[in-house]
Amino acid sequence: MLDELLLQLAETLKKKGWMLATAESCTGGWIAKSCTDLAGSSAWFERGFVTYSNEAKQEMLGVRAETLAVYGAVSEAVTAEMASGALQRSHAQVSVSVSGIAGPGGATPAKPVGTVCFGWAAQGSAVRTETCHFEGDRDSVRRQSVEHALRGVFHSLDME
């Protein structure tokens, strides 16, 4: 399923002449790895940022300290800034960001394990965000996050 999704995404990006950038926290580079597993991905994958710590989010992507303090790293406000930062700090025309609680620890009553926030930014469009709640263990939550993030890139391409 992921392989088919990546092939479709690759073809769509190549047809548009667009490049993708990723900004990842809880997925730890899994989205970028999945993209670059596909031969020829240099034609459509520009770069990936793995920003696990709050400091990395601020330094590499320009996420504001105030946004992190007010909303927390797992928030649509932060993933919006991550996606925008990835677009601004790359040569890509579309980006995806993800930050979440894959577990088993780190959860709060307001943000249980499986809470994952996403951001998508595309040249000429407003940033789009979404929060999902995935079931399963750490690996399952991360795998579902990768697939959802990549599906969302298609939506961003359709909106431009």
Please report the pLDDT score of residue 159 as a whole number.
57
**Taking the model in full, what pTM does it have?**
0.96
Does 27 have pLDDT greater than 70?
yes
Please report the pLDDT score of residue 1 as a whole number.
83
Domains in the chain and their CATH numbers? 2-159 (3.90.950.20)
pLDDT tens digits, one per residue of 48-107:
999 999 999 999 999 999 999 999 999 999 999 999 999 999 999 999 999 999 999 999
Rounded CA gap, 64 and 46, in Å?
24
What's the angle, vertex CA 64, arms to CA 58 and CA 68, rounded to 5? 90
Task: Provide the pLDDT confidence category of residue 158 given band limits of 50, 70 and 90.
Answer: confident
pLDDT tens digits, one per residue of 107-125:
999 999 999 999 999 999 9
